[in-house]
Amino acid sequence: MGTSQSSSGPSASVALVPPWVEDIPPEPPKGEPSPDEPPPDATIPVAAPARFRDARTNIGRYARTGSDEQMHRALGHYVRSGYGGGATMARRLNGTSRTAARLGAVLQPGAQPDLVAARDAAIAGGKNAQSVLDAIVEVIRPVDGTQDAESSRRAVRDALSDVLERYPEADLLDLDDAQRQYVLERFVGLDVYNRFCLDLGKKLDEHASSPSAASARFAEVREYIAATVAAEFDKLWASGSTPASPDLARLTQGALREAFKVFEGYLE
């Protein structure tokens, strides 16, 4: 059900963006650059008391009723109160954006030589599709002992599995443009969903009427988050951005901000 590592969520009085989360450089300003000037959002806010209270209340109601309205409100409160708004939450997930950029680079036919070498070396002993998949995951997001890394590794693997399900003839080492786009947007959506499960999954699990109902609710949230994120990526692809874009990390961060605005909009 997606809750094997879920918890009661982070506590209050902690930084909403941990100090180990590496910032993504903003788009170069028009005109004279100011490299020594900190970005406008350099201040890291601190989590408020009961930061997930409203999100938990609504996700509990959703678990019992299956109401789309309650799910939407839960996600809105999750972003607004739980993470201080879409911009801060997108910054908290900078690791997701950076992993998306690495994923896009690794999947390119003309990937950087060091990435190709690492990928091919990892795959060398593989005998089947699962071995290839595991090897790609290892190159893109090595284990580092953090929940963020485990979340991203699971999301990368699931996204690669999903592309093989959606495109049965796909070759993971030679994906076409549409397949790479799908993997990228799917990974980001699933990584956001994994974060949701870590923070609120326990509440959803506890309040569902049965294990089968809980499984259905998790699946609904998973696909809703993934679809919302994919819609923002569709705008990027339509504007000419590609999985090979050199600033894909920043573009992904922007897509996340826009997706989180959709969630917050349900509270208006």
Residue 7 to residue 19: CA distance in whole angstroms: 21
**pTM recorded for the entire structure:** 0.86
Most confident range, picked from 109-123, 159-173, 220-234: 220-234
Neighbours of 140 (CB within 10 A): 24
pLDDT at 119: 63
pLDDT(56) > 70: yes
Q: How far is residue 131's CA from residue 129's CA, in Å, rounded to a whole number?
A: 5
Separation between Cα atoms, residue 40 and residue 102, nearest integer Å: 26
In a 3-state reduction of DSSP, which class is residue 83?
A: coil
Structural contact between residues 205 and 6, judged by C-beta atoms closer than 8 angstroms: yes
Measuring CA to CA, which residue among 259, 242, 255 is closest to residue 76?
A: 259
Q: Report whether 96 contacts 152 (CB < 8 A).
A: yes
Answer yes or no: are the C-beta atoms of 256 and 89 closer than 8 Å.
yes
Contact 74, 59 (CB under 8 A): yes
pLDDT at 235 over 90: yes
Structure token digits, residue 225: 């988050």
Within its chain, how far is the Cα of 15 from the centroid?
Answer: 20
Judge whether 135 and 126 are in contact, CB under 8 Å.
Answer: yes
Count CB neighbours of 248 within 10 A: 23
Taking 80 as the threshold, does the pLDDT of residue 39 lie above it?
no
- φ/ψ of 25, rounded to 5, equals -55, 135
Q: Residue 119: what residue type?
A: R
pLDDT of residue 228: 98
Q: Are 55 and 200 in contact (CB under 8 A)?
A: yes
How far apart CA 113 and CA 74 sit, in angstroms, is 44
Q: How many helices (H) and strands (E) does the chain have?
A: 10, 0
Instruction: Report pLDDT for 37.
Output: 43
Residue 1 has a pLDDT of: 46
Q: What is the pLDDT of residue 127?
A: 57
Across-strand partners of 46?
15
